[in-house]
Amino acid sequence: MNSIALQDESMPDDLFPFTLTRSAADIRVGILTIREKWERLFQLSISTGPVQKGDAPSIPSNLLPTASLAEAIKTEDLKTVAARVGNHERKLKYPWDIVQANAEEIINDFRLLRRERISQPLSASNRVLAAENIFVEEGARVEFAVLNASAGPIYIGRNSLIMEGALIRGPFALCEGSVVKMGAVVYGATTIGPFCVVGGEIKNSVIFGYSNKAHEGYLGDSVIGEWCNLGAGTSNSNLKNNAGEIKVWNESKKVFLEAGIKCGLFMGDYSKSAVNTAFNTGTVAGVCCNIFGEGLTPAYIPSFSWGYREPPKYKIENAIRDIAQWKKMKNQSLSDGEIRTLKHIFNQP
């Protein structure tokens, strides 16, 4: 047995809003997406969908792989593998699990990506602690930054840029083509996905890709989808004033679930906030929201909201037009498949 297919079919919508627009296999946690982790371990492309009986084991798409599990799939019989998978605890069930798993996943992915490879050198202009825990891909540029990898590894992706004055503490991952702006303060465990621009203060957060948090403001214990934009001065709360349990909206059960005492913002793809937006503790924002208004946001902002005080819907034709404009800024275009997905989400009751 040397192949698998990842399956979403049996999963409830507990990873909302991120699984509105992608398979759970394409959630980024650590440096890589779940699908990319499997592909690295198997050295082949991994599909998402039903498996023909007898061909391969049934692997939930939200399961976080390990090298030992991958080896078992390659060498053991279906019954044994099914038992291993059933007992495997490393799954993403809720959005806050992405944040809680990120430190360990950065460490695991760092080991996987640097195996039998040599890092590009860092410029002597940088101040570095634990240089042996830093890996720099080809084309990355880092000058006059402070990099502390003593508490966890730092991965700097291909053609990325860390500007002067940035302060970065691992575990940290900066993926391909992304930019950390001057004076940014980034704490672990943080992942900046491909082709993002970030600044201000970030802690223990994951940004999937093609999104911007380019200005001052705080982002902590949060997950931001693709093609999002946080306006200048946008900040989120990640701790209640009474240090009490935070409840986060769960779309599958239509209730608020307890998520721990530290929990920030969970923003779906294509959503954006106006300047100086203040996100409440444990806020969930759906897909394609245009978020603005006075005071703290509500704890749940439905997809296609326009503002958040008794919001009307973002008109679908305007949303498609605006997303196309945002994509054009990063030399991308909106596909027919994405348009169909957006229209399907828009038409849900």
47 and 138 part of one domain: no
Residue 272 lies in a domain: yes
Which CATH number goes with the domain that contains 247?
2.160.10.10
164 and 293 part of one domain: yes
84 and 124 part of one domain: no
26 and 112 part of one domain: no
Residue 275 lies in a domain: yes
Quickly state the pLDDT bin for 50 (edges 50, 70, 90). low
* 301 close to 228: Cβ distance less than 8 angstroms: no
Residue 30 lies in a domain: yes
Q: Which of 37, 60, 93 is the last residue of a domain?
A: 93
Percent above pLDDT 90 for the chain: 79
75 and 111 part of one domain: no
How many CB atoms neighbour CB 153 within 10 A?
23
Residue 268 lies in a domain: yes
The domain tally of the chain equals: 2
39 and 121 part of one domain: no
218 and 249 part of one domain: yes
Residue 348 lies in a domain: no
Q: Which of 45, 66, 93 is the last residue of a domain?
A: 93
How many CB atoms neighbour CB 282 within 10 A?
31
74 and 111 part of one domain: no
What is the reported pTM?
Answer: 0.94
145 and 175 part of one domain: yes
With a CB cutoff of 8 Å and minimum separation 6, the contacts of 23 are: 6, 8, 35, 48, 61
56 and 186 part of one domain: no
Residue type, 127: R
Residue 49 lies in a domain: yes
Q: How far, in Å, are 2, 58, 81, 82, 212 from residue 86 at the CA level?
A: 19, 10, 8, 6, 38
Q: What is the span of the domain harbouring residue 315? A: 100-105+107-329
Q: pLDDT tens across 66-110, in order?
A: 888 888 787 777 677 777 776 667 889 999 999 999 999 999 999
Looking at residue 59, its pLDDT comes to 84
249: β partners: 256
Mean pLDDT, rounded, for 26-49:
89
Mean pLDDT, rounded, for 213-229:
98
Residue 298 lies in a domain: yes
Mean pLDDT, the chain, integer: 92
Looking at residue 53, its pLDDT comes to 53
Look at residue 54 and tell me whether its pLDDT is greater than 60. Answer: no
Q: Is 247 helix (H, G, I), strand (E, B) or coil?
A: strand
Q: Which of 93, 127, 147 is the last residue of a domain?
A: 93
124 and 216 part of one domain: yes
Q: pLDDT tens across 238-282, in order?
A: 999 999 999 999 999 999 999 999 999 999 999 999 999 999 999
72 and 177 part of one domain: no
Residue 344 lies in a domain: no
Q: pLDDT tens across 281-337, in order?
A: 999 999 999 999 999 999 999 999 999 877 779 999 999 999 999 999 999 999 999
> Three-state SS string across 131-185, please?
HHHEEECCCCEECCCEEECCCCCEEECCCCEECCCCEEECCEEECCCCEECCCCE
Looking at residue 189, its pLDDT comes to 95
